[in-house]
Amino acid sequence: MAERPEDHVKCPSCLKINEDPFVLECNHSFCRACLQQHTDKGEKSCPTCGTVFNSMEIPENLTRNEPGIFPAGSATSEALCSLHKEELKLFCLDHQELVCIICRDAEKHEGHKFRPLEEVVGSHKERLQESLLRAKKRLEDYQHLRWNCLEQSTYIPVQKEKIVTEIKKAFEELRNVLNTEEEARLAAVRQEEKIKNERMKEKISALSREMTTLSDSIRHVEEHLASSSLSLMKTFQTTLSRIQKLPDKPELLGEALLGEAHHVGNLKIGDTNVWCLNLTFTWSFEPDPKIPDDPSG
């Protein structure tokens, strides 16, 4: 009978495909484990032909990586049980892990429920898809809020100029007696602008970081969804846990814009002399207006 190609990479001792093959000087190939057991007994000769060898320091059998040497459909090491070297065809519902037919009958899985691998892949993909959709929606929330912050950040300098103009116009009528007070008010506006800009920059930076982290998680899940069923199931719990740990929904920064009403609300005075005589208030830059959703409105 003609030899099959896979016979050349089977270990003559255990009759299984060589997972870690070595070739002796006589060209006979064995599993590393089988050859180690042979030498542990004091044997220094080939188990097949009896040719004596001196050391286990032998070159790796390169035929295991030659194309076409394994039959079509043969299981890769990824698809084999690490304990029994059998194909991982079952999924334990109790332990939520892939098992082979030998694991199914082991004491560890006694009384457990099992399903074929292909039956559970679909439901697990659906769970990942649902979490992925929620993650994408959350990313949209961050994108929308970041855009809103960028809009308000752009409007803050414009708003500052508007406030400065109104302050200067009001104080022109009282320049001789109110020069000191005018400067105090302008300084307050500049100080609040600086504070608000710093707060907005920090908010935008934080949103960008959260978006990057969330985008990485989304990309990670999408890559796993595109991988093989076996790879997906092996990393399912880790991947699902990662995509389910979403950051809190972003919120708009409170009191983001300048307190325009606070700065200019009491500048339009009917009786200038009376206002000057009663100018005893202490100016504060802390704002107290409601922040508009749309600065352009």
Counted residue by residue, the chain has a size of 297
Determine the pLDDT at residue 18.
64
Determine the pLDDT at residue 71.
45
> Alpha helices, DSSP H only, in 100-116?
101-104
> Alpha helices, DSSP H only, in the chain?
32-40, 101-104, 117-172, 175-225, 229-234, 236-244, 260-264, 272-277
| Pairing mode, strands 90-92 and 114-116 | antiparallel
Determine the pLDDT at residue 66.
44
Determine the pLDDT at residue 208.
92
Determine the pLDDT at residue 68.
42
Q: What is the DSSP string of 223-270?
A: HHHTS-HHHHHHTHHHHHHHHH-PPPPP-PPTT-S--HHHHHTT---S
Q: How far is CA 228 from CA 74, 79, 97, 204, in A?
A: 16, 11, 16, 38
SS3 221: helix
Determine the pLDDT at residue 151.
92
Determine the pLDDT at residue 258.
85
What is the helix (H) or strand (E) element at residue 72, kind and residue range?
none
Note down pLDDT in tens along the chain; length 297 residues.
344 444 445 677 777 776 677 777 777 777 877 877 777 777 777 877 777 776 555 444 444 444 444 444 444 556 787 888 888 778 888 888 888 877 877 778 888 888 887 888 888 888 889 999 999 999 999 999 999 999 999 999 999 999 999 888 877 776 777 677 778 888 889 998 998 899 899 989 989 999 998 999 899 889 888 888 888 888 888 888 888 888 888 888 778 888 888 888 777 655 444 444 445 444 444 444 444 444 443
Determine the pLDDT at residue 126.
86
C-beta separation of 19 from 60 below 8 A: no
Determine the pLDDT at residue 34.
80
Determine the pLDDT at residue 161.
93
Determine the pLDDT at residue 291.
43
Percent of the chain with pLDDT over 70: 76
Give the dihedral sign, CA 111/122/218/79: positive
Determine the pLDDT at residue 1.
38
Candidates 266, 272, 294; CA nearest to 154 is 294
